[in-house]
Amino acid sequence: MKKNTFNMMLLAMAMGVVSCSDDADSTVERLSVAAFYPTIVMDGTEVSITGTGLSDVTTVEFPGGQVAKSVQVINDSRIIAVAPTGVDAEAGTLTVSTGTEQAQSRQTIRKAQPALRYFNPAESVKTYDDLQIEGNDLMLVKQVNIGMGDEAITINAIDFKRKSNDNITITLPGETPIGNEQPISAVFDNGELMVLGNMDIERGAQGGHWEDQEIDIYNDGDVVMKGDWSSYFMIDKSVLADAQVGNVIRVYIKDKTSDDNWVILSDGNWSELAAQRASDEDMAAGYKDFTLDENMLAAMQSTGLLIRGINFTAVKVVLVVSVWVPNTAGPVETVLNDTETDMGGWSAAIIIGKEAFENAKTGNIIRVYIKNQVEGWQQGSFKNGSDWGGLTDELGVIGLSTQDFEIGYYEMTIDDVTLPLLQDNGLIISGCNYTAVKVVLIQ
């Protein structure tokens, strides 16, 4: 009898344990916080919270006992809470409440304390070069401003070369204002402005090469230079206003009638500046060149230029200048979509028509810029535009890593298999637990 009583007690205890376990599981299923992003906030930062039972949440409490300014219910598994002022700088948990139930996060969150540590390079940088901004809590920076007044430029976060919590790297565009002590500031997602400091900015050379460029200064028809020195034509000084020492006056010539032929440059007062015989090589090339020195340039810009000579025909006269031509052979990004899309849990997609890939080639890259890494499985996908299946098995579901979010994108390379699919059917970008910022084709 005692043995049976003891066995019944064990059974009751076991049932009690099972019952407690079931209650706990149902509580977790009813209201829980799985993850949130971002984990640092400023006044007004939107925090995306995922979990279960969230459609009934009315308040979200941040570290320091501060309650969210507002709570937007997206669905039962996701809400967006707007961070209040006064969030504690010491990391703590989030608490969500329905009024009757509460759930606490495992992650911690804190108030951002952004600060600049240093620039790299430290004091001066050239356009087209990289500037690294090293600091603390920079993840919420949405743009960097350089310069002041009408010449100031803005570089948006989407164009940052790199963005992490302690580093922002930007490439200074050609239109960056030049000069000493150019002010640099950062603007955060909530609109707050932080002055970072000043930097000397110099004009840099984008990859390229020097090319000779011809500027017509006389092209009003052929002039036959007779053998009696009676022929000439005049070029007004205004045409030469922008000429510089080292530029070249090139007289195009043809039809030599004697070896005794001369091309002569004079100023507007008929004072000779330069005289050269046109050789057989000059006639074959079709022109005669004169390089401007200081005296020639000053006389021409003061009185004009007179072209005369004998025994040839002058076709036209040009000013030859050297100009820097940027290289264009590097990769070119074409934006296919620039609407931010919260992928949720495979609940959204970006659809790109086949016409976007009409000129695409194998070796081109499709890059999806991303942000808002939500805890859990982050996955991207490149799908066939006709049947929503993966372009290939490997591209149907792509696991996204922390490193992908640090560099800010994931991508695919177009090959012989995927190119015809893209050109026939277009492309669908989807996935879960991330936000797609824009999609580009890199050629």
Q: What is the mean pLDDT of residues 261-285?
A: 93
Which pLDDT band, with edges at 50, 70 and 90, does 66 fall under?
Answer: very high
Contacts made by residues 93-97, CB under 8 angstroms, sequence distance 24+: 93/63, 94/33, 94/36, 94/47, 94/49, 94/60, 94/61, 94/62, 95/60, 95/61, 96/31, 96/33, 96/49, 96/51, 96/54, 96/57, 96/59, 96/60, 96/61, 97/57, 97/58, 97/59, 97/60, 97/61
Instruction: Express as a percent the part of the chain with pLDDT over 90.
Output: 70
Q: What is the mean pLDDT of residues 324-335?
A: 72
Of 3-7, 55-59, 314-318, 419-423, minimum mean pLDDT range: 3-7
From CA 83, how far away is CA 355, in angstroms rounded? 42
Which pLDDT band, with edges at 50, 70 and 90, does 330 fall under?
Answer: low
Q: What is the mean pLDDT of residues 360-371?
A: 93
Which pLDDT band, with edges at 50, 70 and 90, does 327 fall under?
Answer: low
Q: What is the mean pLDDT of residues 91-120?
A: 94
Of 35-39, 80-84, 96-100, 313-317, minimum mean pLDDT range: 35-39
The larger pLDDT score, comparing residue 279 to residue 403, is at: 279
Render pLDDT for 7-34 as a digit per residue (tens, 0 to 9).
434 334 333 333 333 333 333 458 999 8
Q: What is the mean pLDDT of residues 164-189?
A: 92
CA 74 to mean position of chain CA atoms: 31
Predicted local distance difference test score (pLDDT) of residue 158: 80
Predicted local distance difference test score (pLDDT) of residue 204: 85
The larger pLDDT score, comparing residue 210 to residue 408, is at: 408
Which pLDDT band, with edges at 50, 70 and 90, does 123 fall under?
Answer: confident
Which pLDDT band, with edges at 50, 70 and 90, does 333 fall under?
Answer: confident
- State the CB neighbour count (10 A cutoff) for residue 306: 20
Of 75-79, 296-300, 418-422, minimum mean pLDDT range: 75-79
Predicted local distance difference test score (pLDDT) of residue 28: 41
Which pLDDT band, with edges at 50, 70 and 90, does 329 fall under?
Answer: low
Which pLDDT band, with edges at 50, 70 and 90, does 328 fall under?
Answer: low
Give the global pTM.
Answer: 0.50
Task: Determine how β-strand 130-136 pairs with β-strand 232-235.
Answer: unpaired
Per-residue pLDDT for 367 more than 80?
yes
Predicted local distance difference test score (pLDDT) of residue 163: 78
Predicted local distance difference test score (pLDDT) of residue 29: 52
Indicate the average pLDDT of the chain: 88
Closest CA to 285 of 317, 310, 253: 253
Render pLDDT for 206-222 as a digit per residue (tens, 0 to 9).
766 678 899 999 999 99
Predicted local distance difference test score (pLDDT) of residue 17: 35
Tokens representing 384 are: 């066939």
